[in-house]
């Protein structure tokens, strides 16, 4: 790779919550007292997930193992075949997420998947090559599109994102063919993610408890996989998104490291 590559390494806790329309309004009002929306504002985030022909990565993830991993290509805002995008390996052990990513282009990633391209000789490049060797014949399977707002707090590692209008599709599997897709949630619903390296502040735990907002195991690509296969099977009963099982617990977000 001739140009300098952007490499990013992250290790943090990531906790997910599904919000109803009312919970979303409540949370946005409360969080504005403590955090600010980042400089990017509302951004469309598109994530192209790769898997083996028999969906081995997604199927394993749906089984909710202690350890799981995925590989995806992500863009922020409109993209072309040559726009800067991020190729990511994301591994999760319990609630701890380890993410490795490198800035690249769709064209370079397609060459990499075909075995015709190598990134710079950095740790992430070796990990990508090893991932591909462990999971041969990777191919695009699902495109997930969300409208995202990110919040930050000065002098804090805490980051919060809210994804609205989440959609998926299994056609036009690239980052440059628009944002059409099938809804993943009921109208007005949203996905809240809390990302932190150490601990959640008491004020945030209080907001979540007051809004009866509980941690869930919701996965966007996992839900897309379930909905897609239900649709393909032409099930006699139509599956509803709000019937997809989720884990609900008491103050599971109030941990301290």
Query: Which whole number is the average pLDDT over 186-215?
Result: 93
Q: List, for residues 82-110, the tens digit of each pLDDT value.
A: 889 999 999 888 778 888 888 989 988 98
∠ CA 158-16-79, rounded to 5°: 80
> In whole angstroms, what is the distance from residue 165 CA to residue 187 CA?
8
Q: Under 8 Å CB-to-CB from 154, ≥6 apart: which residues?
A: 36
Q: List, for residues 29-80, the tens digit of each pLDDT value.
A: 999 999 999 988 999 999 999 999 999 999 998 888 888 899 999 999 888 8
* Least confident stretch, 157-166, 170-179, 221-230, 233-242: 233-242
Query: Which whole number is the average pLDDT over 14-30?
Result: 95
Q: What is the C-alpha radius of gyration for the chain, rounded to an integer number of angstroms?
A: 18
> In whole angstroms, what is the distance from residue 234 CA to residue 231 CA?
5
% of the chain residues with pLDDT over 70: 85
Q: List, for residues 134-164, the tens digit of each pLDDT value.
A: 988 899 999 999 999 999 998 888 999 999 9
CB-CB contact of 163 with 27 (8 Å): no
Q: Is the pLDDT of residue 234 over 70?
A: no
CB-CB contact of 106 with 123 (8 Å): no
> In whole angstroms, what is the distance from residue 175 CA to residue 74 CA?
8
Give pTM, 2 decimals.
0.83
What is the CB neighbour count within 10 angstroms for residue 243? 9
Sign of CA dihedral 181, 184, 186, 190: negative
> In whole angstroms, what is the distance from residue 4 CA to residue 146 CA?
29
CB-CB contact of 162 with 195 (8 Å): no
CB-CB contact of 38 with 148 (8 Å): no
Conformational region of residue 187, where left means phi above 0, alpha means psi within -120 to 50, and beta covers everything else: beta
- Closest by Cα among 8, 23, 229 to 100: 8
Which pLDDT does position 235 carry in this prediction? 46
Structure tokens at 168: 């998926």
> In whole angstroms, what is the distance from residue 185 CA to residue 204 CA?
24
* Least confident stretch, 41-55, 184-198, 230-244: 230-244
* Least confident stretch, 9-13, 24-28, 59-63, 137-141: 9-13
127 half-sphere exposure, CB direction, 13 A CA radius? 19
CATH placement of domain 7-243? 3.20.100.30
Q: Which helix (H) or strand (E) covers residue 47, if one does?
A: strand 43-51
Query: Which whole number is the average pLDDT over 214-230?
Result: 89
Which pLDDT does position 21 carry in this prediction? 95
Contacts of range 64-72, beta carbons closer than 8 Å, 24 or more positions apart: 64/217, 66/93, 66/94, 67/91, 67/92, 67/93, 68/92, 69/131, 70/221, 71/128, 71/131, 71/135, 71/138, 72/47, 72/48
Domain positions in the chain are 7-243
């Amino acid at each position: 790779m001739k140009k300098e590559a952007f490499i990013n390494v992250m290790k943090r806790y990531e906790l997910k919550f599904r919000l109803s329309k009312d919970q979303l309004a409540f949370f946005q009002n409360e969080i504005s007292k403590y955090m600010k929306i980042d400089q990017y504002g509302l951004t469309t985030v598109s994530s192209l997930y790769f898997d083996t022909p028999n969906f081995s990565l997604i199927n394993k993830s749906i089984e909710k193992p202690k350890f799981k991993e995925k590989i995806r290509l992500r863009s922020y805002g409109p993209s072309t075949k040559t726009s800067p995008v991020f190729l990511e390996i994301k591994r999760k052990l319990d609630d701890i997420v380890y993410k490795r990513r490198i800035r690249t282009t769709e064209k370079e990633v397609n060459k990499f998947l075909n075995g015709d391209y190598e990134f710079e000789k950095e740790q992430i490049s070796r990990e990508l090559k090893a991932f591909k060797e462990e999971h041969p014949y990777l191919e695009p399977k699902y495109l997930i599109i969300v409208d995202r707002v990110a919040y930050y707090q000065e002098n804090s590692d805490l980051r919060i994102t809210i994804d609205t209008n989440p959609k998926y599709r299994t056609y036009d599997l690239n980052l440059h063919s628009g944002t059409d897709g099938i809804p993943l949630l009921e109208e007005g619903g949203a996905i809240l993610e809390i990302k932190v390296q150490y601990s959640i502040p008491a004020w945030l735990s209080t907001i979540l408890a007051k809004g009866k907002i509980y941690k869930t195991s919701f996965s966007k690509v996992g839900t897309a996989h379930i909905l897609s296969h239900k649709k393909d099977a032409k099930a006699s009963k139509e599956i509803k998104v709000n019937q997809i099982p989720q884990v609900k617990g008491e103050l599971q977000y109030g941990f301290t490291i």
